Structure 1
Amino acid sequence: MDIQEMVLEVLARLPLKSIARFRATSKTWRSLIDSDYFRDNFISRNSSSSISWSIIQLQPHKLIEIIGHHGCKTWGLTRSPGSLVSFFVETTIRKLQVLACTDGLVLLYVEATDGTPMYYVGNPMFQEWFRIPLPHFFSLQNLQRLQNHKRFSDSGLVTKMQNGIVVSYKVVWLLTHDVGAKVDFAIYSSDTGKWEGRTVTCLRSRFWLSDDKSIALNGILHWIHDCTRSFIAYDFYGGHDDDQCSIITFPDTGVDKALLWFRRTITTSEGYIVYFNELCENGNRTLRVWRLVTYINGPEAWQLFWDVSLVSLIELGIYYFPVVMHPLNSEIIYLWSRSQKMLILYNLRTHVFSFHEETADDSKCMDGCILSFNRCSKYMKNYYFPAVTFSRNHLIFSQYVLPRWLQRLPRPQPT
C-alpha cells in the first residue's frame, strides 16, 4: 500500500464533516476526495452507518424541523440538520418558503420586497444555491394568478441518483382541473436548464388540490389526496409511453373504515413507500405496515411486512399516533403521545421501546444518533388525525435525510 492509499484509508474512517474540511484546503485534497475510488470506498465502508435526518412538519408550507437527529456516524454533526440550513440572496426579501426536501436538496420559494417571485434549488450543507428561471410560457402575471389558484402547486422536487449521489433533479409544478381527467405539469430539468409542459391522464384529478403535499422517491412523486381510498403517483424519469398517472389503492381499502384507528398517510423507509395503520377488531388493536412493491394497482402492489400489537404501550395507558417510519430502518416506527407530550420509538421486531420527552436533555435514539426537539409539542397537538367517517387523508410529516456522500448541486451545462 503506497502513501496515497494509506492517506485515503485513514480519511475514509473520518465523518463527512471532517472530510469536507480537508477537501476545502487544496486542489490536491479535492482531487483525492472527489475520486471515484475514494467515494466508493467511503460509501461501502459506511453503508450501514447512521445518518443525520429530520422529521419535517408539512403544514403549512414551511420547513419546520420538529425533530432532528445529529451526532450520527456518517456526518458527525454536532447540531441537527435543520439548524444548519441557511439561505442568502443578493436582494432584500419579504417572504421565504421551503417547498420540498429530497435526497439532501431543498426547493425554496423567495419573494423580493417588490413582489418578484424567485425559485431556488440548493444543497444547504455546502451553501450551493441555483436560481431556477421562470417558465418562458408563463408570464409574471399568469404565475401570480396561478399561485392563488386552489388547483395549482409549485412544490414538486424529484431527483435521479447514481451510486448514492444526486446527478439530476427536476422541479415540478402542477395544475389540475375541475372537470375532465387531465393534469398539466410544468417541469424544469437540471440536465437541460429548460422547462417543458406535459399533459397527462389522471382519472381522479378532481380530488387533487394545491394543498395536497407529495413525497418524492426514486424520481417518482406520490400525492395523497382528499377522501379517496388511493393516492396518485407519477414517474418523472420514466418513459411514459401512455402518459398516465398511476392510481394506487391502499391495501386496507376493503376494510370497514370504522375499524381503522388513524387517517391514511404514507412515509418512506429503506427505499420504499410505506403505509401503516392500526385496525381494531373485536376489541384488539394491531398495527399493520405495508411497503409498496409495484405500481400496478391491486393487492399485488403491497407487501405486508409488519402485523403486530403494541399492547405493551396500550396497557400503560399511552395514547399515541404514528408519525413516520425510520427512513433507514424499517423495524423502527416513530409515535407521538399527546397526553404525555413525548416521542416513542418502537422496534416492531423486538418490541423494545423508548420514551423521549421534549423538555428533557437531548438523548440517544435506537440508531445511536442524538435526538433534539423544536417546538414539537406545539405542532403535534394540532395534528392528531383519528379515522372518522368522511375524514380527509393527509400527508402531515416528511423526512429530510442527508446523503451518504459530499454530493454537489447538479447544474445545467452552459450554452
Structure 2
Amino acid sequence: MLRHDLPQDVVVEILARLPVKSLMRFNCVHKSWYALMRSHHFITKHHKFATSNNLGRGVVFKYRTSKGHLCVSLLSNDTLEVSRDVDLLSLFPDKIDGLHCIYGPYNGIFFLQGLYKGENVEDLVLWNPATRESKVLPEIKRSRRYDSGKKFCFKFGFGIDPNTNDYKVLRIVDFYGRQQLQFEVYNLSTDSWRVIDSSLSKLYNIYSPSFPSYLNGFHHWKAAEICMKARRKGKLFPEHGPTRLFIVSFDTSNEVFLETPLPTVPRASGFIGQNIAVINDSVSLIVGYCDTRNLDINWFDIWVMSSEIGVERTWTKKFKVEGSGLAFGDRLLEIREDGLVLLHKNDGSLAVYDRKTQELRKIAKYGNHFYESLAITYTETLAFMNGGGNLSE
C-alpha cells in the first residue's frame, strides 16, 4: 500500500530513516525496493541520515573469556549490554586461531585480520556487522623479498579514498629492521592487491594502533626510526632506543606517506605508554601514567593535533582523564562523544567512567584478559561487498 499510495521520493525518505535490520526484511517487498536498497545513492543517504541523527549506533567489543576463548560481541550503544554475540567462524573461510586486529570502522565497515596455522598465515576479511555480511580478501602473491629466510610481520591500515569512494587496505610488511618496509594495497573496486612504491626510504618500526586511527582520507600510526647502532647489531630496540618517535600518515588518495612529530610529553617514572587515536574527529595522542607509590592512582593525558598533517608543533594538551575510578592495569577502550570513558577494569569488568562526576559504573564482567580487549563505536550501514550493491560507484 505504501508503495502505491505515496510518491517515490517520499517512500525513499521514509525508508532512509529505518534501521538496517528492518530494511533487510523489506528486501523482498518489491524488486524496485531491492534495487533501491543496493544503490550507492540510497546507501549513502541512509548512512548520512543515521550519522547526523545519532541513529543505528552500536559497539563492537572484542575480549577473551577467563578460559582464554576469543569473543566478539555487539553492544548496545546506550546501555553497553550485549545485543548479539558474533560467530567468528562464519566470517572466515578457515578456523582461525586468533583475531589479531580489528580496523575501522569506515561507513560501518570493518577490516579483520584472522590468524591460523601459525604466524604470518592469515585470512583478511571486510565485515559489515549490521548486515552480517563478510568478504574474504584474495591472497597476496608474495614477492622474492619474503624468501630471504628472515622473519617478518604485518601491520595494516584501512580506510577509503575520498576521491573515488573506493575502500583500501594497506598491508605493511615489516622485516624487523633488516630490510626496508614493503607496502601492498588492496582496492575493493578491483578486488586485487598491488605493491606500491614507498616514500619511506629509511628503516622504521611502525606500531599497530590500539584505537581507530583513520580520519579524512589518512590512516595514522605511531612510528620510530631505528637508530644506526641498532641496524648494525640487527636489533630493533637496543639499549639506546629509537632515535625519534613520530606519526606516519598514509594518504589513501595519493598513496604517499607524511610524517608529523609527536609532542614532547613528560616521561616521569610512572610513564606507561602512548597510543594514537581519533577522538571526536581529531587525531589524538593518549598518554598513560600511574603513581608508582600508589598503583590505585592512574591517569591519561589527551593531546590533540590541532593543524594540518605534516606541520610541526601542532599538538595541544586538551584534557586529562583522572580520578578515583581509575587504577593501574585498567585498559582505556574509548573516549566517547558524550565525554564518558569506556574502561575494561583490571578485574575483567567493563565499566563507564564519568570524567565530570568521577563516578564509575560497572556493566558486566568479561574475562580476565583485559589487556587484549577492544571496543569501537560504529554507525550501521547497508553497504554490500559481494556484488549485491556498490560501495564505490
- Scaled by the length of structure 2, what TM-score is found? 0.68
Could you tell me which residue of structure 2 aligns to residue 174 of structure 1?
173
Secondary structure at the counterpart of residue 258 of structure 1: coil
1:312, distance to aligned residue in structure 2 (A): 4.9
Question: Structure 1 344/116 Cα, relative in aligned 2: closer, same or farther at 3 Å?
Answer: closer
Q: Is the 8 A contact 2:140 2:193 kept in 1?
A: yes
Could you tell me which residue of structure 2 aligns to residue 22 of structure 1?
26
Question: Are 1:123 and 2:136 an aligned pair?
Answer: no
Q: Is the 8 A contact 2:209 2:221 kept in 1?
A: yes
Could you tell me which residue of structure 2 aligns to residue 152 of structure 1?
153
Structure 2 distance, partners of 1:10, 1:105, is: 27
Which of the numbers 343, 348, 356 marks the counterpart of 2:362?
356
Question: Structure 1 157/299 Cα, relative in aligned 2: closer, same or farther at 3 Å?
Answer: closer
Question: Structure 1 280/171 Cα, relative in aligned 2: closer, same or farther at 3 Å?
Answer: closer
Residue correspondences, number: 353
Equivalent residue letter for 1:345: V
Structure 2 distance, partners of 1:289, 1:116, is: 36
Q: Is the 8 A contact 1:86 1:127 kept in 2?
A: no
Which of the numbers 182, 185, 189 marks the counterpart of 2:183?
185
Question: Structure 1 335/10 Cα, relative in aligned 2: closer, same or farther at 3 Å?
Answer: same
Question: Are 1:325 and 2:322 an aligned pair?
Answer: no
Which of the numbers 277, 288, 308 marks the counterpart of 2:301?
288
Question: Are 1:237 and 2:245 an aligned pair?
Answer: no
Which of the numbers 345, 349, 354 marks the counterpart of 1:342?
349
Secondary structure at the counterpart of residue 177 of structure 2: coil
Secondary structure at the counterpart of residue 17 of structure 1: helix
Secondary structure at the counterpart of residue 159 of structure 2: strand
**Deviations 1:267-289 (CA, angstroms, capped at 9, x unpaired):** 332333332235689x9986421
Q: Is the 8 A contact 1:188 1:196 kept in 2?
A: yes
Equivalent residue letter for 2:340: I
Structure 2 distance, partners of 1:63, 1:326, is: 26
**Deviations 1:350-391 (CA, angstroms, capped at 9, x unpaired):** 3353321534xxxxxxxxxxxxxx42xx112xx3xxxxxxxx
Structure 2 distance, partners of 1:333, 1:23, is: 38
**Deviations 1:46-103 (CA, angstroms, capped at 9, x unpaired):** 5242511124359xxx994577522659xx99724x525552667x657564543322
- In angstroms, what is the RMSD of aligned CA positions? 4.6
Structure 2 distance, partners of 1:53, 1:312, is: 26
Equivalent residue letter for 2:382: L
Q: Is the 8 A contact 2:170 2:186 kept in 1?
A: yes
Structure 1 distance, partners of 2:121, 2:98, is: 12
Structure 1 distance, partners of 2:286, 2:210, is: 18
Could you tell me which residue of structure 1 aligns to residue 230 of structure 2?
none
Structure 1 distance, partners of 2:121, 2:298, is: 52
Could you tell me which residue of structure 2 aligns to residue 217 of structure 1?
214
% identical aligned pairs:
13
Question: Structure 1 187/214 Cα, relative in aligned 2: closer, same or farther at 3 Å?
Answer: farther
1:105, distance to aligned residue in structure 2 (A): 2.5
1:38, distance to aligned residue in structure 2 (A): 7.7
- Scaled by the length of structure 1, what TM-score is found? 0.65
Q: Is the 8 A contact 1:100 1:157 kept in 2?
A: no
Which of the numbers 279, 283, 286 marks the counterpart of 1:273?
283
Q: Is the 8 A contact 1:262 1:278 kept in 2?
A: yes
1:18, distance to aligned residue in structure 2 (A): 1.4
Question: Structure 1 94/2 Cα, relative in aligned 2: closer, same or farther at 3 Å?
Answer: closer
Question: Are 1:379 and 2:369 an aligned pair?
Answer: yes
Gaps in structure 1 of 5+ consecutive residues: 360-373, 384-395
**Deviations 1:232-267 (CA, angstroms, capped at 9, x unpaired):** 423141425xx5452532x243x2x12554322233
Equivalent residue letter for 2:160: K
Q: Is the 8 A contact 1:160 1:237 kept in 2?
A: yes
Structure 2 distance, partners of 1:347, 1:305, is: 17
Q: Is the 8 A contact 1:94 1:111 kept in 2?
A: yes
Question: Are 1:198 and 2:196 an aligned pair?
Answer: yes
Structure 2 distance, partners of 1:311, 1:78, is: 27
Q: Is the 8 A contact 1:274 1:289 kept in 2?
A: yes
Secondary structure at the counterpart of residue 305 of structure 1: strand
Question: Are 1:305 and 2:305 an aligned pair?
Answer: no
**Deviations 1:283-330 (CA, angstroms, capped at 9, x unpaired):** 998642122343225331x2332246x34547xxx5563513235x16
1:402, distance to aligned residue in structure 2 (A): 3.5
Could you tell me which residue of structure 2 aligns to residue 69 of structure 1?
75
1:160, distance to aligned residue in structure 2 (A): 0.8
Could you tell me which residue of structure 1 aligns to residue 227 of structure 2?
none
Equivalent residue letter for 2:276: I
Which of the numbers 99, 102, 105 marks the counterpart of 1:100?
102
Gaps in structure 2 of 5+ consecutive residues: 224-236
Q: Is the 8 A contact 2:176 2:205 kept in 1?
A: no
Equivalent residue letter for 2:214: L
1:190, distance to aligned residue in structure 2 (A): 2.1
Question: Structure 1 244/94 Cα, relative in aligned 2: closer, same or farther at 3 Å?
Answer: closer
Alignment of 1:246-261 (within 5 A): 246-249=259-262, 251-253=263-265, 255=266, 257-258=267-268, 260-261=270-271
1:168, distance to aligned residue in structure 2 (A): 1.9
**Deviations 1:203-254 (CA, angstroms, capped at 9, x unpaired):** 7635448x787854034343345765634423141425xx5452532x243x
Structure 2 distance, partners of 1:298, 1:278, is: 23
Secondary structure at the counterpart of residue 333 of structure 2: strand
